[in-house]
């Protein structure tokens, strides 16, 4: 799928799914609930929310949860990702560095990554914009 060529219906479905997922976020420490939705190669949508922990570094990001749901369901390619969190106007949510690498495992360089909040869609990027010159599965393919 070329960059940014995401049909409106799929974009709407991703947005609704990520907003719904965000409602179940467990974020008592940061008070920053996040929802993520991933479109897989079968056209299915998988969701995740952040799950924090009293031992702070053990918290899980919404994108990681959504990718785990995709893999569990048998999906192996992310075709689009949408993340919802508070922000806008210069501080739209974007995936953290660790999640950019996790997305790299299952996404092409032109993977669309869309940002949104509860009321609007924000900027959109490609994965390679967010994680240039990245290290990925191709670097360690079985010899």
Would you say 40 or 63 has its CB closer to ligand THU? Answer: 63
Residue 94 CB, shortest distance to ligand THU, in Å, is: 6
Q: Is 30 in the site for ligand THU (CB under 6 A)?
A: yes
Write down the catalytic residue from 41, 58, 63, 105: 63
How does 48-77 read in b/e, with b if 16+ C-beta sit within 10 Å?
Answer: bbbbbeeeeeebebbbbbbbebbeeeebee
The question of whether 63 is a catalytic residue gets the answer yes
* Pairing, β 45-49 against β 35-40: antiparallel
Q: Does residue 91 interact with ligand THU by CB under 6 A?
A: no
Q: Token pair of 28, please?
A: 């008592």
Does 50 bind ligand THU (CB under 6 A)? Our answer is yes
| Strand bridging mode 78-84 / 35-40 | antiparallel
Q: Work out whether 61 is an interface residue with ligand THU (CB under 6 A).
A: yes
String of contacts with ligand THU for each residue 111-130, x by CB under 6 A:
--------------------
Nearest residue to 115 via CA among 95, 101, 131? 95
- CA torsion through residues 86, 9, 113, 122, sign: negative
Q: Which residues participate in catalysis according to the annotation?
A: 63
Residues that bind ligand THU (CB under 6 A): 27, 30, 32, 34, 50, 52, 59, 61-63, 83, 93, 95-96, 99
């Amino acid at each position: 799928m070329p960059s940014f060529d995401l049909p409106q219906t799929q974009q709407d479905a991703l947005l609704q799914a990520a907003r719904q997922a965000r409602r179940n976020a467990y974020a008592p420490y940061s008070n920053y609930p996040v929802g993520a939705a991933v479109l897989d190669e079968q056209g299915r949508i998988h969701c995740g929310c952040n799950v924090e922990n009293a031992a702070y570094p053990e918290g899980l990001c919404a994108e990681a949860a959504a990718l785990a749901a995709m893999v569990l369901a048998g999906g192996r390619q992310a075709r689009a990702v949408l993340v919802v969190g508070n922000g806008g106007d210069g501080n739209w949510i974007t995936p953290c560095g660790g999640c950019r690498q996790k997305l790299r495992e299952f996404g092409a360089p032109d993977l669309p990554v869309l940002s949104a909040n509860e009321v609007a869609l924000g900027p959109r990027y490609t994965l390679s914009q967010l994680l240039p010159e990245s290290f990925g599965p191709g670097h360690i393919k079985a010899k």
